[in-house]
Amino acid sequence: MLEKIYTHILTSQAIQLNKISYFLILCQILAYAQSKPIYEDLISDFKDTWIAYLNPNCGNRYFKADCNAYKVLLINECSTYEYHHLIFRTLELQPHYELTLKLTFLMEMHSVYPEFIVYIDGRIEHQKIYDNWGYSNISCNTQSQNYALFPISITIQHSSSSVIIAMIAQKGNWGITQFQISIQECSIACDSCNSNGCLNQEMLLQSFNSQHFNVISTEEGWQSQGIAVTQIQECFGINFYATSGDHLVKVFDLDQHYAISFQLKLLIFKFKLNINIYLY
């Protein structure tokens, strides 16, 4: 009897230890699984048609090409103007708290030294002047031109339901390849999170969070000077709710709570150097 009890106790302890081990392993797996590539292009093939805003005096100077083993998007120099081609992708995202962008910048060797800028949702997240001395002996050749390759990795805190990645170079022949976006995704059924896990908050309303929409419901609508705003426009491949007024007003009915979280993307066109934005 004592032997059986003793064995049972040992077996139970072993089971508990195994459960703890499995739990720790599962936590590690879940933490790792949250890092999720959600978009890749210019790696083994050409996936999508990229969009560019360009100087109309230069014409369309971007195209897809093979550069040795690399699939690349190239922009040819418009010698009269600088910063003449801005290329971009717009993507919808699942709930997340962190975003990582990886790409490789191509610069024609032994030419001008361009400044290369990467914007994420309108903010400059990478800005650098490149020269022939900074690359790690990686190059490729296309159309009798040699290009130096510069890997770039950017990680930012990000939680918006969409992202706009835009890139531009100052001058010269340049391009990109090996383009990848990854996110640290929230757990299943979690609308908002951070590195510590799901946040204790309830989603009240989401509006205009699809890349394309053409209808504004009464629940989504805002007012300006007492009149409902109904205008929809497009920029960077995404639709947005537009007004020419200087304010927007909306009333929300809330259940009992102790804090609120409010998030939006604001697009301002033809703005002056100094502008004040207020949220009441």
pTM: 0.80
How are beta strands 231-235 and 238-242 bridged, if at all?
antiparallel
CATH code assigned to 37-185: 2.60.120.260
DSSP per residue, 116-145 = EEEEETTEEEEEEE--TTSS-S-EEEETTE
Q: Say if CB 240 and CB 166 are below 8 A apart.
A: no
Name which residue leads in pLDDT, 202 or 158: 158
10 Å Cβ neighbour count for 161? 16
Write down the pLDDT at residue 208. 83
Burial (CB count <10 Å: 0-12, 13-18, 19+), residue 61: middle
Instruction: State the pLDDT at residue 135.
Output: 59
Residue 30 phi/psi, 5-degree rounding, is -65, -40
Give the pLDDT confidence of 11-61 residue by residue, as tens digits.
Answer: 444 445 455 555 444 454 444 445 789 999 998 888 887 888 888 888 777
Q: Report, as an integer, the average pLDDT of 125-140.
A: 80
SS3 category, 65: strand
pLDDT for 136 beyond 70:
no
- Enumerate the domain spans of the chain: 37-185, 201-280
